[in-house]
Structure 1
Amino acid sequence: MIHHHPGDELLLAHAAGTLQAGHALVVGAHAEGCAHCRARLCTFEALGGAMLETLEPAHLAPEALARTMARIDGTAPRRTAAAPAPAPAATAAPGGWPDLPAGTPWPSSLAGCVVSRWRWLGPGMRWSRVTLPHDPAANVFLLRIGAGKCLATHTHSNSELTQVLYGRFDDGRALFGPGDFDEADGSIHHQPVVQAGSECICLASVQGKVVFDNFLARWLGAAVGM
């Protein structure tokens, strides 16, 4: 059962298409497995459509259509985080993607992304870079942390969205399990601890930086772009 969801402000921004690409990908990954949030997104999209219908018609500038078509022709197709796509099989990582535990599906919002192999981050900790085709600068990554291990205590210079794909962690605020979503910002100072008995794998998007308390953790975080 999913206990933690994106707030309505995030879902509304996602429905409006105003979220930064990395954050949109993580919200989309959550919505794939959460009927509650899919229903909320549908409601917000319907409200947006209704509001558009109430707007007064506006005259287009000369050559506006031609300029728009030229921009479309010159832009690579962009897949939004909410676009439906078949989820790759968990046991057959596509295109050299890293492995996931048996029975754990890849979020279909990652379709078209480049996902690196697992890389060492620390004892019992690995990470993988996720590169978005339409926004390569987006700071998105996977974390794979062993049972009983923890990230160093940290806060955030801006915001971090996290979707749990496998396992559980507790950061002192709540217990987050498979399918759960977490949003953290500079007001949150925490240390996620993976629960005993199983590793934990999360998909995360960071705007700004993760600000670690410990010098070594800050150095490692900077080295991997966190």
Structure 2
Amino acid sequence: MIVHHPEDEFLLSLAAGRLPAGQAVVVQAHVESCGHCTERLSTLEAVGGALLERAEPHPLSPDLLAATLQRIAGVPPEPASTSPTPATAPAGTWLPTGVTWPTSLRGSKVTPWRWIGPGRRFSRVQLPHDPEATLFLLSISPGRSLPRHRHEQLELTQVLCGAFVDERAVFGPGDFDQAGPDVHHEPMVQPGQVCVCLTWVEGRLRFDGHIATAIARWTGV
């Protein structure tokens, strides 16, 4: 059961196309796995469409239509498809059996898993439309934790599989976590299954320990 969801401001910004790319793919990854947020997003999109229809019209530039048609003509047609194909993880990207690769990451480049401590690995994700976004996959084994840390700014996390617990709550498969500068925690993975998360970070993580800080600087997290 999915318990933790994005706040409405994220869904509203996603519906309006205003979310930065890194945030958008994490929020969209949650929506893909959550029926409640899929319905909520559809409602917000419908409301936005209704408001747009009622908005006062404004005159457009005389050459706008010609310029738009010219741009459309320059876009190659997409190949015909009878049914949507599910997104697949890039070659060499390991995920536990049964875990679905988020469609929002379609076309992304992913680095091989890198060791950052016993039972802990991470992988950089590079988006085709925003290669500078600080986005990564984090894999932590049962019983292991991410060392205690704070956040400089905002961090968004979507749990793809497994579960972790901190001082706030338990976050299981499909759950969404938003952590800001007020959060000081040590996420501990629950027994049973490795926990894999998709995470976007604004700023840096500030670890309490010297070893964790050195590893963070080495990996650029």
Q: Is 1:36 aligned with 2:36? A: yes
Q: Could you say what the CA RMSD is over the residues aligned between the two structures, in angstroms? A: 2.2
Question: Secondary structure, in 3 states, of the residue corresponding to 2:191?
Answer: coil
1:179: how far off?
0.7
Counterpart secondary structure, 2:159: strand
- Post-superposition CA distance 1:127-169 (Å, at most 9, x none): 0111100000011100001111111111211111101111110
Distance 2:184 2:73 in 1: 46
AA aligned to 2:23 is: H
Amino acid at match of 1:13: S
* Higher mean C-alpha displacement, 67-76 vs 174-183: 67-76
TM-score by length of 1: 0.87
Residues of 2 paired with 1:76 and 1:222: CA distance? 43
Matched residue, 2:109: 114
CA distance in 2: counterparts of 1:143 and 1:163, whole angstroms: 10
| Change in CA separation of 1:207 and 1:65 when aligned onto 2, cut-off 3 Å | farther
Number of equivalenced pairs: 215
Q: What's the CA shift for 1:223?
A: 2.4
For 2:206, the equivalent position in structure 1 comes to 211
- Percent identity of equivalent pairs: 53
Bigger shift: 98-107 or 138-147? 98-107
Between stretches 67-76 and 111-120, larger displacement belongs to 67-76
Aligned to 2:133: 138
Query: Whole-Å Cα distance in 2 between the matches of residues 172 and 206 of structure 1?
Result: 20
- Residue in 1 aligned with 2:161? 166
For each residue in 1:185-216, what CA deviation from the matched residue of structure 2 results, as whole angstroms up to 9, or x when unmatched?
11111110111232211110112222222233
Name stretches of at least 5 consecutive residues in structure 2 with no aligned partner: 78-83
Match of 2:11 in 1: 11
Residues 1:196 and 2:191 aligned together: yes
Task: Answer yes or no: is the 8 Å Cα contact 1:85–1:109 preserved in 2.
Answer: no
- In the superposition, relative to structure 1, how do residues 97 and 66 fare at CA in structure 2: closer, same or farther (>3 Å)? farther
Answering whether residue 52 of structure 2 is matched by residue 57 of structure 1, we say no
| 1:87 maps to amino acid | A
Partner residue, 1:81: none
Alpha-carbon offset, residue 31 of structure 1: 0.6
TM-score when scaled to structure 2?
0.89
Q: What corresponds to 2:80 in structure 1?
A: none
**CA distance in 2: counterparts of 1:173 and 1:41, whole angstroms:** 26
Could you tell me whether the CA contact under 8 Å between 1:168 and 1:195 is conserved in 2?
yes
Cα 1:104/1:159, change in 2 over 3 Å:
same
2:135 and 2:15 map into 1 onto residues whose CA distance is: 20
Report the AA paired with residue 53 of structure 2. E
CA, structure 1 residues 215+3, in 2 after alignment: closer, same or farther (shift >3 Å)? same
Larger radius of gyration: 2
Alignment of 1:82-161 (within 5 A): 86-88=86-88, 94-161=89-156
**Runs of at least 5 residues in structure 1 that lack an aligned partner in the other structure:** 78-83, 89-93
Q: Which amino acid aligns with 1:119?
A: R
Quick one: distance in 1 between partners of 2:149 and 2:58?
49
